[in-house]
């Protein structure tokens, strides 16, 4: 118990003038249940009897703890009513019994020896340093207690005033708190205002290499490098004068010291704890070694990325120059080839054999196709090089404009377009138009052999995202070749049936990727194809999606 309790107990008994000879019991108490035969229960001698009732027992009742007054022979002389509540005995049942009546069976032999040694040299002391003191109730149950002893010298000799406090709830709370401390992934160190460690959790051994018993009672500076210890004592004193929750060493690099002497970076948060014994300081310590290493790797990667970006800028400049070279230097010879071939056909029409005319026509077709490939390559380069400028785009309106252009180009075709209304998306308008022109253009091309051609543009919600799709009932393709769909110059159909450059879908994929999205397809040969795409930068949009033929 705390000194204040011992003082109250001693003062109250001093006021009573109680000695062993002055205390008595009205009758012999029977042996209490649960008390073994080794408990001596002889009555107090007649010489010990005194008119005790004359003394004001109310003084003992004012104390908050159970009070047991014991003679030097170990017999209980007097108890207060708190003893009845705590132990379950009537007061008369305990008077004259040995104090070991209240001690668990397993501890009685040791207690007798301790009692005899204490009575040989009695002095005020607390037994709280003993980690788990147990007491025994009348019903045989045990519970945790704190005990303080105070010798009291009377005219008839010395008696011992024992103050007992039931700490069952505190122990339960401590056990719960200990569980919480051990559940925390960080090192927790509790120190008093002198900088002495009073409590640590198990993480301290994992991080610092010390067992808890090696640290309790030691200075907290043991856990920091030698060069910081002297200055830390002053910082600790300053903190205790104005304690508050805050990080330690804000803006500075902090280091811990392992038992083996090595240092490692840490983060520390400080929190004051108000207790009956004064302010304690709770330090939550986190080893940041792995995070620091990860941060350094990120910095190294960023430096490498900057170097790579610098190189890419150079490459892009070269590609831009190459594009202009293609546009000008290659187009001129192609125009010459096509022009001279046409001149020969026109000027020498009556002199050319049919095979010669056919060969010249093939030259012109080849030149025209080469021109288309150059245009496609330039468009692909522009999609990578141009700046992405997002805006809210009316997808439905843009798709209808493109469909109208196709209808005007081939008015003889009858194609049923189904374009959902009110489709909008945040995207670059020019680049999105290129996506729709390519996807709708492919659908227009690959339905050209059908009299009942249908082309549909719509969207569906799937996994919290908006998925756009373009569906047709055209030629379709074999899904085993799906990995080739978006490659440059990759074609899954004969160019004589369905002409094209093989660059369109590659362009579409690059535009979709630039928007942080993805594109995929589903198809059955002869039944058409569906292309799905997402224009979104959220993580869910980039998650793998099922190749569902019908997202609706």
Q: CATH number, domain at 204?
A: 3.30.450.20
* Residue-level pLDDT at 324: 63
DSSP string, 452-485: T-EEEEEEEEETTEEEEEEEE-S----GGGGGGT
Residues 135 and 217 in one domain: no
Nearest CA-CA partner of 188 in 213, 205, 172, 173: 205
Q: 549 lies in a domain?
A: no
Alpha helices in 149-217 (DSSP H): 168-183, 203-208, 212-215
Examine the pLDDT at 261 and tell me if it is beyond 90: yes
Question: Which pair of structure tokens corresponds to residue 457?
Answer: 């543009």
Count of domains for the chain: 4
Q: 172 lies in a domain?
A: no
Residues 518 and 469 in one domain: yes
Question: Which pair of structure tokens corresponds to residue 125?
Answer: 């002391």
Examine the pLDDT at 194 and tell me if it is beyond 50: yes
99 CB contacts (<8 Å, ≥6 apart)? Answer: 68, 70, 74, 75, 76, 111, 115, 162
Q: Which of 324, 348, 383 is the last residue of a domain?
A: 383
Q: How much of the chain exceeds pLDDT 90, in percent?
A: 32
pLDDT band at 54 (very low <50, low <70, confident <90, very high): very low
CA distance 112 to 124: 18
Domain that holds residue 418: 388-542
DSSP string, 227-247: HHHHHHHHHHHHHHHS--SEE
Query: For residue range 297-340, what is the model confidence (pLDDT) as tens digits?
Result: 999 999 988 888 777 777 766 766 666 666 667 777 777 888 88
pLDDT band at 363 (very low <50, low <70, confident <90, very high): confident
* Residue-level pLDDT at 493: 58
330 CB contacts (<8 Å, ≥6 apart)? Answer: 370, 374
Q: 222 lies in a domain?
A: yes
Residues 226 and 316 in one domain: no
Residues 19 and 161 in one domain: yes
Q: 19 lies in a domain?
A: yes
pLDDT band at 492 (very low <50, low <70, confident <90, very high): low
Examine the pLDDT at 456 and tell me if it is beyond 90: yes
Question: Which pair of structure tokens corresponds to residue 264?
Answer: 């490692």
Q: 548 lies in a domain?
A: no
Residues 159 and 46 in one domain: yes
| pLDDT, averaged across the chain | 79
Separation of CA 233 from chain center: 34
Q: Which of 287, 306, 338 is the last residue of a domain?
A: 287
* Residue-level pLDDT at 445: 87
Residues 234 and 280 in one domain: yes
* Residue-level pLDDT at 491: 63
Q: How much of the chain exceeds pLDDT 70, in percent?
A: 78
Residues 113 and 238 in one domain: no
The average pLDDT across 496-510 equals: 73
Q: 551 lies in a domain?
A: no
Angle between helices 289-325 and 354-385 (to 10 degrees): 140
Query: For residue range 240-250, what is the model confidence (pLDDT) as tens digits?
Result: 888 898 888 77
Residues 11 and 154 in one domain: yes
Residues 27 and 139 in one domain: yes
453 CB contacts (<8 Å, ≥6 apart)? Answer: 413, 414, 415, 416, 447, 472, 473, 474
Residues 258 and 228 in one domain: yes
Cβ proximity of 190 and 270 under 8 Å: no
pLDDT band at 490 (very low <50, low <70, confident <90, very high): low
Q: 552 lies in a domain?
A: no
The average pLDDT across 1-17 equals: 37
Q: Is 529 exposed, middle or buried (0-12, 13-18, 19+ CB in 10 A)?
A: buried
pLDDT band at 383 (very low <50, low <70, confident <90, very high): low
Examine the pLDDT at 13 and tell me if it is beyond 50: no
* Residue-level pLDDT at 163: 93
pTM: 0.41
Residues 213 and 184 in one domain: yes
Bridge partner list, 424? 394
Q: Which of 166, 194, 220 is the last residue of a domain?
A: 166
Least confident piece of the model among 80-89, 157-166, 196-205, 541-550? 541-550
Cβ proximity of 56 and 81 under 8 Å: no
Phi/psi of residue 507, nearest 5 degrees: -65, -45
Examine the pLDDT at 189 and tell me if it is beyond 80: yes
408 CB contacts (<8 Å, ≥6 apart)? Answer: none
108 CB contacts (<8 Å, ≥6 apart)? Answer: 36, 38, 39, 100
Q: 547 lies in a domain?
A: no
- Highest mean pLDDT of the ranges 209-223, 269-283, 523-537: 209-223
For residue 443, give the CATH number of its domain.
3.30.565.10
The average pLDDT across 252-261 equals: 93
CA distance 210 to 197: 13
Strand order in the sheet with 518-524: 416-419, 454-462, 465-472, 528-534, 518-524
Question: Which pair of structure tokens corresponds to residue 339?
Answer: 């022009």
Residues 61 and 40 in one domain: yes
* Residue-level pLDDT at 101: 94
* Residue-level pLDDT at 19: 36
- Highest mean pLDDT of the ranges 120-129, 162-171, 390-399, 536-545: 390-399
């Amino acid at each position: 118990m705390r000194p204040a309790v011992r003082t109250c107990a001693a003062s109250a008994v001093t006021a009573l003038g109680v000695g062993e000879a002055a205390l008595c019991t009205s009758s012999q108490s029977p042996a209490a249940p649960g008390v073994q035969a080794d408990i001596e229960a002889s009555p107090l001698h007649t010489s010990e009897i005194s008119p005790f009732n004359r003394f004001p027992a109310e003084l003992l009742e004012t104390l908050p703890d159970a009070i047991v007054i014991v003679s030097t022979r170990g017999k209980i002389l007097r108890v207060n009513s708190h003893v009845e509540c705590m132990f379950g005995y009537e007061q008369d049942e305990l008077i004259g019994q040995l104090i070991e009546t209240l001690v668990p069976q397993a501890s009685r032999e040791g207690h007798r020896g301790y009692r005899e040694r204490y009575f040989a040299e009695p002095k005020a002391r607390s037994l709280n340093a003993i980690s788990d003191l147990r007491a025994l109730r009348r019903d045989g149950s045990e519970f945790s207690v704190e005990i303080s002893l105070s010798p009291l010298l009377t005219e008839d000799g010395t008696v011992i005033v024992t103050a007992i406090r039931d700490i069952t709830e505190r122990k339960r709370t401590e056990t719960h708190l200990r569980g919480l401390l051990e559940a925390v992934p960080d090192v927790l160190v509790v120190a008093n205002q002198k900088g002495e460690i009073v409590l640590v959790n198990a993480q301290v051994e994992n991080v610092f290499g010390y067992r808890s018993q090696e640290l309790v009672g030691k200075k907290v500076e043991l856990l920091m490098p030698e060069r910081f210890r002297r200055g830390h004592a002053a910082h600790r004193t300053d903190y205790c004068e104005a304690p508050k929750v805050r990080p330690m060493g804000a803006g500075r690099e902090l280091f811990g010291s392992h038992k083996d002497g090595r240092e490692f970076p840490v983060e520390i948060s400080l929190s004051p704890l108000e207790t009956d014994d004064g302010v304690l300081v709770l330090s939550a310590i986190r080893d940041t070694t792995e995070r620091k290493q990860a941060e350094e790797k990120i910095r190294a990667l960023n430096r490498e990325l900057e170097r790579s970006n610098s190189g890419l800028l150079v490459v892009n400049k070269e590609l831009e120059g190459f594009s202009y070279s293609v546009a000008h230097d290659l187009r001129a010879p192609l125009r010459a080839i096509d022009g001279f071939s046409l001149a020969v056909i026109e000027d020498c029409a009556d002199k050319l054999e049919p095979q010669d005319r056919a060969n010249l026509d093939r030259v012109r077709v080849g030149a025209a196709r080469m021109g288309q490939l150059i245009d496609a390559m330039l468009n692909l380069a522009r999609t990578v090089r141009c700046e992405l400028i997002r805006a809210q785009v009316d997808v439905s309106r843009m798709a209808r404009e493109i469909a109208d252009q196709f209808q005007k180009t081939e008015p003889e075709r009858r194609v049923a377009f189904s374009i959902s209304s009110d489709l909008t998306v945040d995207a670059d308008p020019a680049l999105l138009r290129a996506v729709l022109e390519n996807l709708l253009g492919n659908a227009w091309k690959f339905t050209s052999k059908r009299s009942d051609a249908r082309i549909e543009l719509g969207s569906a919600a799937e996994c919290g995202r908006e998925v756009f799709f373009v569906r047709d009932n055209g030629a379709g393709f074999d899904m085993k070749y799906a990995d080739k769909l978006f490659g440059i110059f990759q074609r899954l159909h004969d160019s004589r049936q369905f002409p094209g450059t093989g660059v369109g879908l590659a362009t579409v994929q690059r535009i979709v990727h630039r928007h942080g999205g993805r594109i995929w397809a589903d198809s059955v040969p002869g039944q058409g194809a569906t292309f799905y795409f997402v224009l979104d930068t959220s993580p869910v949009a980039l998650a793998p999606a099922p190749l569902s033929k019908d997202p609706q």
